[in-house]
Amino acid sequence: MPNLNRVMLMGNLTRDPELRYLPSNTAVAGIGLAINRRWRNQQGEQQEETTFIDCEAFGRQAETINQYLRKGKPVFIEGRLKLDQWQDRDGNKRSKLKVVIERFEFIDSRESGGGGGQQQYGSGQQAPQQQQSQGYNQQGNVQNSAPGNAQNNAPSNAQNNAPQADPHQPIHEDDIPF
């Protein structure tokens, strides 16, 4: 029987990343993510709930997250669920689900003064350069080119004709086409 363990989340950091190193000198960054959901109940009243999720990144990804992300910044992550189990001081069994980050994207906001793009980073990738906007998938393949490349200077017609959404407007469940 096939198995699948894939998580995709987009939200804002609830705290600054916490960077630590394992005895093997591998970097580990822990982040908290807040994801908001808005909907209308049967009476037509606007409802909102927030889900808080702990996430971990390892290696160069952890160092990049620690360097570039701060509390309140938006981020998109892909990863897998992991169940941590332990015994507390009283001998009680405890457990907690977290997401192990396998790939992430910086989501630029207007406050940051960026060019309004996204940067993607997978496991073991280099830190971003200020003048470049490169993306990497899990296999390390480049998905975007650096500015100045002919590939990046000729966006497709589909991108030019697509309606642009205001990133500060909340997206309602009714707005999603599926």
pLDDT at position 108 is 75
Tens digits of residue pLDDT in 81-115: 999 999 999 999 999 999 999 999 999 765 544 44
93, 87 contact by CB (below 8 A): yes
Does position 160 have pLDDT exceeding 70, yes or no?
Answer: no
Domain boundaries defined on the chain: 7-175
| pLDDT value of residue 81 | 97
Res. 117: pLDDT tops 70 = no
The mean per-residue pLDDT over the stretch 26-51 comes to 95
pLDDT value of position 79: 97
In this structure, CATH architecture of domain 7-175:
Beta Barrel (2.40)
Assess contact for 122 and 139: CB atoms under 8 A: yes
- pLDDT band (50, 70, 90) for residue 149: very low
User: In this model, does residue 171 exceed pLDDT 80?
Assistant: no
- Report the predicted TM-score, pTM, of the whole model to 2 decimal places: 0.62
Identify the residue with better confidence: 134 or 125. 125
